[in-house]
A and B are shown apart, each in its own frame.
Chain A
């Protein structure tokens, strides 16, 4: 299997505080990887270095390398705009823009200069279908996305990312602000997407990680304790800390 994304000796500092202490991980193309771990284990920080969203926070220092298809994304010549189109992100709180559903999904393409209406219509439809929300919104595409329920909003946000055809989708606790039914719809959506996209998701929900992910990485105190096939992590982890966390002895 080819590696699509690799991090080597990745350190992140918030001011003096070392949040990530040398992370070596690699992600194969396709499938879902879950990042689990107790609060404060810096798994979200790790996720946010992968598309350089941490650049926005003042006082953050990142050292080490992150290679996306053998290109170091922290190299000075990296174009952030292109990078973030290749590596899309979905957030914890659904954050549709205050526009219509159609405009939300078409937004990335429109700004990239796509003017062909047929092509836009087609991309909006495909993306919403992929995100498994098309049937619910197809009759009111031109109503505000803010009028949708939280779960629908989150799937529109996934469609918005899909519309710019990324290779990797990062999700930062995508269901923790949603009710159980909406959460399971998002999970179904992700399972459908796992064949076409490389998905990396942070989750606090261990059942969710075991249900949907192919591989799981366990984070603790800014380090990766272990990463393996999800089955192995949950049935027969190699490290005692992992077992303690999985079985609910802490965290």
Chain B
């Protein structure tokens, strides 16, 4: 066979493989969105779920998902940023940091249901937080930390050493250099990592079933005192999220319109995650442009 023919064959093979993936992805997304769109309405997005009658919505679940996401990020971002800065800027390359790095890798490959059961034992039972947003946020922190730390570390590592030398040569201390030069320079990449991991958290169900719980008590959206049980901000209330809701409807839903609600909720979930991805690209790109080309 001539090199030209073998090249042609290789290229066509790659085209076939690539288009298979695209077709599968498009079919999956298309099916979820098309079957879910008819169920989505303002009423669906804002009203509480009903257990036995039709006409329920996913308002509380949607709010819970966002609230849980924000709480998880508030807990995990500072830790991941600190860990990423330490590992990339300060840590010496020795067996201790090698151990830390492999621990992070192992943690990132833990099945989320195991993280959920661990969170159940530690936060729900041992610490007595009960089924609550807080327990869920801590469990998701375990789930999120490895990947977020990793992406922040990589973002910092991508900043050229010339920037560090420039800062130090200006008489900045190492910490000032990291804080005022390296982190701002890495900000677009860090932000992309944060938003992508937000998408993962948003769609997570298994780790939440045993921690944030499977019930969504009615909320009073006029009560913003976090210490009241009916307040949306109360972190100690059980909070079923959108992803958990989908799982629950499909395993034990007895409302007449269960199928429509499940499809609608799935579409909302997928659209939100898609939104996070697009937002990540957009914000990262914008920030990068602002930092590089004015």
Contact = CB atoms under 8 A, between A and B. Distances in A.
B294 A160 contact: no
Given A144-B290, A147-B294, A160 B184 contact: no
Interface stretch (A81-89, A178-186, A198-206, A241-249): A81-89
A111 B178 CA distance: 13
A53 B181 CA distance: 18
The B contact surface, by secondary structure, is helix
Nearest to A85: B171
Interface stretch (A96-104, A117-125, A230-238): A96-104
A132 interface: no
Contact of B173 (A53, A81, A144): A81
A32 interface: no
Contact of B165 (A80, A91, A99): A91
Nearest to B293: A147
B291 interface: yes
Contacts of B165: 53, 56, 89, 91, 95
B293 A51 contact: no
A147 B185 contact: no
Interface in B138-190: 160, 162-163, 165-173, 176, 180-181, 184-185
A161 interface: yes
A97 B182 CA distance: 9
Interface in A62-85: 80-85
Contacts of A108: 170-171
Contact of B170 (A100, A140, A147, A161): A161
A95 B162 contact: yes
A93 interface: yes
B168 A97 contact: no
A111 B180 contact: yes
Contacts of A99: 184, 291
> In the complex, which range does the number of interface residues on chain B fall in?
20 to 34
B291 A51 contact: no
Contacts of B172: 81, 111
Given A85-B171, A108-B171, A157 B292 contact: no
> In the complex, which range does the number of interface residues on chain A fall in?
20 to 34
A212 interface: no
Contact of B169 (A53, A93, A96, A144): A53
Nearest to B188: A98
Contacts of B169: 51, 53, 84, 88-89, 91, 161
A59 to B, nearest CB: 11
A215 to B, nearest CB: 23
A51 B292 CA distance: 29
A140 B294 contact: yes
Nearest to B187: A98
A196 interface: no
A107 interface: yes
A130 to B, nearest CB: 16
Contacts of B166: 91, 95-97, 157, 160
B293 A53 contact: no
Contacts of A144: 290-294
Which of B166, B180, B294 has the most chain A CB atoms inside 10 A of its CB? B166
Nearest to B164: A56
A93 B164 CA distance: 13
B69 to A, nearest CB: 29
Interface string A207-235: 00000000000000000000000000000
Contact of B171 (A56, A82, A100): A82
Given A146-B292, A146-B293, A97 B163 contact: yes
Interface of A: 51, 53, 56, 58, 80-85, 88-89, 91, 93, 95-100, 107-108, 111, 140, 142-144, 146-147, 157, 160-161, 164
Given A81-B171, A81-B172, 10 more contacts: A82-B171, A84-B171, A89-B169, A91-B166, A95-B162, A97-B166, A107-B180, A140-B294, A144-B290, A144-B291
Q: Which 6 A-B pairs have the closest CB atoms?
A: A143-B294, A95-B162, A84-B171, A89-B169, A85-B171, A95-B166
